[in-house]
Amino acid sequence: MSMTIRSAKRDDLAAVAPVLYSAFRSISDQHRFPPDFDSPETAHKVASLLLNHPQFHGVVAEDAGRILGSNFIDLRSPIVGLGPISVDPEVQNKGIGRQLMIAEIEEAQRRGCAGIRLVQLAYHNRSLCLYTTLGFRSRTPLSIMQGKPLNQRFAGYEVRAATLADTEACNALCRRVHGMDRRQEVEESVGQNSLMVVEHLGSITGYTNGVGFFTHTVADSDRSLMTLIATAPSFPGPGFFLPTTNFEVFNWCLGQGLRLVAQATYMTIGLFNEPDGAWLPGVLY
Ligand SMILES: CC(C)(COP(=O)(O)OP(=O)(O)OC[C@H]1O[C@@H](n2cnc3c(N)ncnc32)[C@H](O)[C@@H]1OP(=O)(O)O)[C@@H](O)C(=O)NCCC(=O)NCCS
């Protein structure tokens, strides 16, 4: 193969989206798990967002004009999120995934990023081995949870839509829990009316830009996190990622009737500190 890796362009969309869909679909079908993208249209929408967002960087593998795969990094924070990576099922297991990973790891390093993170689907042995041999350390097992909205409230914990005036409190909370903030994502979420905060005793004790597959949540305590889960109108995508090591919240979710969909692994290169609080990562981290 005379394959090359190059930066992705907007007009790669028509070729990137079907590979994104078929790569994830084939692996989830083999293992009988729900797919990350429930339809070609969802994959197309996500690929379009990735290719058009000024702070996502994409690469594609191309051979004689045919796109064989793609990979992305989210550059909105000093810690970058990597993925989704996909390789055409017809040419998987031939080293293309490794080259797409190396290209984005090098891109992150060139830009001086402090760390790189990703979420790996645990049923896919190949990606776990690939990421590990590229230097990613497994930090925590994640449980993907799905179910009917819980429609519950806890006394003393109020949930409301956030405004731009709340973003500094959200960023401070994220820094306290994770040692870094995700201010640009938080501000974008206010613009999309998707940022919610929980208040307890007059302070913001948690925020979420959606309890779902592509979004993230940070809270100072299990109770604040449970409040955000309990008031979420839905859990978009295959489900939300809950660190399985959070016994209290995992056990509570199961008691509320939420179901375990699949397992995943939180993996990091570079700067990482054990989160000091309650949290839900999104599929990028
Ligand atoms: C994940 C994905 C991108 C990997 O791409 P790929 O081109 O198939 O992978 P590569 O051939 O580059 O690398 C696979 C590596 O895993 C190794 N590997 C595979 N199965 C293994 C196993 N059971 N034990 C140990 N190593 C294993 C291979 O030997 C290879 O390592 P090498 O480069 O040292 O030879 C591709 O499988 C894909 O598109 N999957 C569907 C979408 C997806 O799952 N994305 C990732 C979500 S976390």
Give the residue whose CA is nearest to atom 19 of ligand 1: 126
The fold for domain 146-280 equals: Aminopeptidase (3.40.630)
Decide if pLDDT at 1 tops 80. no
Say if ligand 1 is within 6 A of residue 1 CB. no
Strand ordering across the sheet containing 278-280: 157-161, 196-200, 203-208, 217-219, 278-280
Output the DSSP codes for 151-168.
Answer: ----TTEEEEE--GGGHH
The encoded tokens of residue 54 equal: 């000024």
Decide if pLDDT at 88 tops 70. yes
CA distances from 34 to 24, 39, 240 (A): 10, 11, 13
**Delimiting residues of CATH 3.40.630.30 domain(s) in the chain:** 4-113, 146-280
The encoded tokens of residue 31 equal: 């293992």
Q: What is the pTM of this model?
A: 0.96
The fold for domain 4-113 equals: Aminopeptidase (3.40.630)
Decide if pLDDT at 259 tops 70. yes
Q: Which ligand 1 atom is at minimum distance from the Cα of 98?
A: 12
Residue to mutate, 82, 96, 127, ligand 1, most ligand atoms under 8 Å from C-beta: 127
* Tens of pLDDT, residues 173-217: 999 999 999 999 999 999 999 999 999 999 999 999 999 999 999
